[in-house]
Amino acid sequence: MQPFTLSIETDAGTYRHGFHLGTIERLARELAEEICLKRRPQRGTRIVTVALCRFESIVDVFDGKDWSNALLSKFAEEAA
């Protein structure tokens, strides 16, 4: 099974991190959230978002508060 990987967007730009987040989506999301909220990139930049990737595509994006797919679902429910 293809592992989840991490893409990090900082205020200095975006880069693909080679960090393997595992193959279980729930755990991969937890690790991505922890990295976004608790880790500091080098050279004093700050993390803006982290993206959960799989098969060279973005699965979801975390902005430090919510996952984008969760927000889209919430807005769709409110609009219905």
pLDDT tens for each residue of 28-40: 999 999 988 887 6
Q: How many domains does the chain have?
A: 1
Tokens encoding 40: 């500091």
What does pTM read for this prediction?
0.78
5 touches 18 (CB < 8 A):
yes
Residues 6+ apart with CB under 8 A from 38: none
Query: What DSSP character marks residue 55?
Result: T
Per-residue pLDDT, 30: 95
Per-residue pLDDT, 75: 60
Tokens encoding 77: 């429910």
**Domain range for residue 70?**
5-79
Per-residue pLDDT, 13: 76
Q: Which one has a higher pLDDT value, 26 or 9?
A: 26
Q: Which one has a higher pLDDT value, 70 or 71?
A: 70
Per-residue pLDDT, 9: 87
